[in-house]
Chains A and B, each alone.
Chain A
Amino acid sequence: ILNVEQSPQSLHVQEGDSTNFTCSFPSSNFYALHWYRWETAKSPEALFVMTLNGDEKKKGRISATLNTKEGYSYLYIKGSQPEDSATYLCASNSGNTPLVFGKGTRLSVIA
């Protein structure tokens, strides 16, 4: 089973701070890297899917980068807002196998 690691496990930032967190995955047989946002008491929602080395995706204040050769992806949040508070999950797979999820980074943005 693929091993997908996320760090840090949790993060507390002040409103307006920019922040980033990391997802590590095996670089061999890489197929895709996904980021999801998961608010408390809700279901995970997809943010980005990236497949190519060097891919960068952006949605509002949130962006992500992908390095498939070294097996990592960064998620950046610019100017964090309280509504950004959530758990951010990354997931990866190889070939035609189901996604394997990391344990997530829990972000708390303090007003």
Chain B
Amino acid sequence: DAGITQSPRHKVTETGTPVTLRCHQTENHRYMYWYRQDPGHGLRLIHYSYGVKDTDKGEVSDGYSVSRSKTEDFLLTLESATSSQTSVYFCAISLAAQETQYFGPGTRLLVL
């Protein structure tokens, strides 16, 4: 199994507070991704990274920012959390854009 961890695994926060989720990999994969999972929508891409300091927006990037200062870590920040950002967030990694993605265990976020 790919070595991917996400932290925290669960978080409850209040509307308007900043939240940062961390994805850490030990596989030296170039690409890293953040998805959110919502009923009726499947997996939707928020942001992705194709290298250190190289990131791009996905389908649902509004209200989210990311940073990748080293290969192993990809951070997702909700600058000011809203209730619509309550979701399960998955991180994934891959060697290249067209290659198999390996998913982390997910982070369940509740914004009250």
Contacts and interface: CB of A to CB of B under 8 A. Distances in A.
Interface in B27-86: 31, 33, 35, 40-45, 48, 58-59
B101 interface: yes
A98 B99 contact: no
A98 B42 contact: no
Contacts of A98: 31, 33, 45, 48, 58, 97
A49 B45 contact: no
B64 to A, nearest CB: 15
Nearest to A92: B98
A91 B101 CA distance: 10
Interface size class of B (residues with CB under 8 A): 20 to 34
Interface in A78-105: 89, 91, 93, 96-104
A101 B44 CA distance: 7
A97 B97 contact: yes
Contact of B103 (A43, A51, A104): A43
Contact of A96 (B42, B98, B103): B98
A10 to B, nearest CB: 12
B59 A103 contact: no
Contacts of B90: 43-44
Contacts of B44: 101
A34 B100 contact: yes
Contacts of B31: 98
A18 B106 CA distance: 31
Nearest to B97: A96
Interface string B98-112: 111111111000000
Interface of A: 1, 31-32, 34, 43-46, 49, 51, 89, 91, 93, 96-104
Given A43-B105, A98-B48, A100-B59, 11 more contacts: A1-B59, A43-B104, A44-B90, A49-B99, A51-B98, A96-B96, A99-B97, A101-B35, A101-B43, A101-B44, A103-B40
